[in-house]
Homo-oligomer: A and B are copies of this chain.
Amino acid sequence: FNKEALARIMLMENLNLTAGIKELSVTKTGALRIDWTNDHQSHYEAEWLKQRAFTEEAKHKRHSTYRLPKRQWSSDHKIAKLDYSFVLEKDEGLLQLLIELEITGAVLLQNTPSDPTAAFNICNKVAKVKYTHYGELSNVIVVPNPNNVAFTGAALNLHNDIVQYHDMPGMIFLHMIKQHTGEGGETTLSDGLYAAEQMREIHPELFHLLTTTPVYFWDIGEADPADNTRVKDFYKISKEPTIKLDISGAVTHIRFNNQIRDSFLDLAVDQVDDFYKALKTYFELIHANSIGFKMTDGDMTVVDNVRCQHGRTGFTGPSSPRHLVTTYLAWDEALCKRRRLQQKCSRNQ
C-alpha cells in the first residue's frame, strides 16, 4: 500500500490466497502483527480493523458515507426552500442543497439573480457542469405564438431529462429568469422512486415489465450553426429499461420520457399491450402523487433527474415570453462534494 497515493501497490499475481497465519502478536503501539506462512508480514491498527469489521454497524457506517438514505414523498410534500446566495457563498448552504437533493430529490432556490449562468456558477462550486450536446447551459424561451416549434407553449408530461444518454445527468437545475405572466406554465414534480415502490407493491407484474423491458430513446438533430456552445449535429440512442435496478434490487435510474421514447419497439408483438399498460400505470402513479407550483422570476428548481420527474402545464393565458435556463450536474461530483463538505463543516464546528 502506498500511503501518499492511498492506493494498493501489490500486484495481483503476488496475491497468495492460501497463505496461513504462522504467528499473531500485538505490537508496542497496539497494532495487530501477523506473520504469514509465506514469510509476508502485516501490521493492522486496531481502529483500522474496527472500521472494516464484518458487522452490520461497520457496513452501515461505510454505506452512509457513500449514500444518504432517501426519504420518499407524495402529493402532500412541501419542497425545501433555500436562498440562492446562501448556497453559492457558504459551505453550509451548498451542503444543505446537496444533502436535501440526496434525501428528497428536489429543492427550490429563491432570489436567484437573472444571469443565465446562475446555476452554472453553483455547479462550478461542486466540480463542473455535466456536458451534453446541448452545451453547458440551455436557454428555453417560450412564446405563446412561436415560429419555432421547439418553443411551443404545450404542456409537457412529467419526464426525466436526457434519457437518450446512458450517462444521464444526475441533477437538473431549472432557473426561471422570466416567468410567463398569463395562466399556465406551472411546474409539476413527482418522486418517481415513490411511484416505483408503489408499483412494485401494487402491480408486481407491471413493475417487473418496466425493470426488464428495454426501451430505445432517441434524439437526432442539428443545432443553429451560429451557436458555438452546442454540438452541430447529433444522433443519440440509448437502450435501457424504464426502471433500472442494482444487483440488490434497489432502484438506481428511472427513464420515463414519453416525448422522446423511440417509435422502434424491441419487443415481441404480443408483449406490446402489456408494455403500454405498464408505462401508463407508472405515469398515472407519478401524476397522482405529484406536486405543482408556479415558479416566479428568480426561482430555481433543482431536481434529482435519475429519480424524480418534472413537467409543466400548458400556457393558456395572454401572450408573454417565458425564459427558463437548464443546467446539469453529475451525481458522482455532487456526492464527492457532499462528503468533502461534511468533513470540512464538522472540523469547523
Task: Say yes or no: A149-B2 contact (C-beta < 8 A), given A235-B343, A247-B212.
Answer: yes
CA of A277 to CA of B18 in the docked complex: distance in angstroms? Answer: 10
In chain A, positions 299-348 with a C-beta closer than 8 Å to chain B are 330-333, 335-336, 339-340, 343
**Are B283 and A17 in contact, with the CB atoms below 8 A?**
no
Q: Which residue of B lies closest to A162 (CB)?
A: B332
Q: What chain B residues lie within 8 Å of A2 (beta carbons)?
A: 149, 152
Q: What chain B residues lie within 8 Å of A67 (beta carbons)?
A: 239
CA of A343 to CA of B59 in the docked complex: distance in angstroms? Answer: 51
Q: What chain B residues lie within 8 Å of A154 (beta carbons)?
A: 9
Interface locus among A35-43, A79-87, A213-221: A213-221
Q: What chain B residues lie within 8 Å of A11 (beta carbons)?
A: 155, 157
In chain A, positions 1-31 with a C-beta closer than 8 Å to chain B are 2, 4-13, 15, 17
Copies in the complex: 2
The residue that A4 contacts in the complex, of B9, B59, B149, B166, with Cβ under 8 A, is B149
Chain B nearest CB from A296 CB (Å) reads 25
CA of A265 to CA of B235 in the docked complex: distance in angstroms? Answer: 41
**Are A237 and B131 in contact, with the CB atoms below 8 A?**
no
Q: What chain B residues lie within 8 Å of A13 (beta carbons)?
A: 157, 283, 287
CA of A233 to CA of B155 in the docked complex: distance in angstroms? Answer: 42
Chain B nearest CB from A150 CB (Å) reads 5
Point out residues on A near B: beta carbons under 8 Å.
2, 4-13, 15, 17, 51-52, 54, 58-59, 62-63, 65-67, 127-128, 131, 133, 148-150, 152, 154-155, 157, 165-167, 211-212, 214, 216, 219-221, 231, 233-239, 241, 246-248, 258-261, 263-269, 272-273, 276-277, 279-280, 283, 287, 330-333, 335-336, 339-340, 343
Pairs across A and B, CB under 8 Å, 27 listed: A5-B150, A6-B220, A7-B259, A7-B260, A11-B157, A12-B280, A12-B283, A13-B157, A15-B276, A17-B273, A17-B276, A51-B264, A52-B264, A54-B265, A54-B267, A58-B264, A59-B264, A65-B237, A66-B216, A131-B131, A133-B336, A165-B332, A167-B167, A212-B247, A214-B247, A236-B336, A238-B332
Q: A5-B149, A51-B264, A66-B216 are in contact. List 10 more A-B contacts (CB 8 A).
A: A4-B149, A10-B258, A12-B279, A52-B263, A52-B264, A66-B239, A127-B131, A127-B231, A214-B248, A235-B339
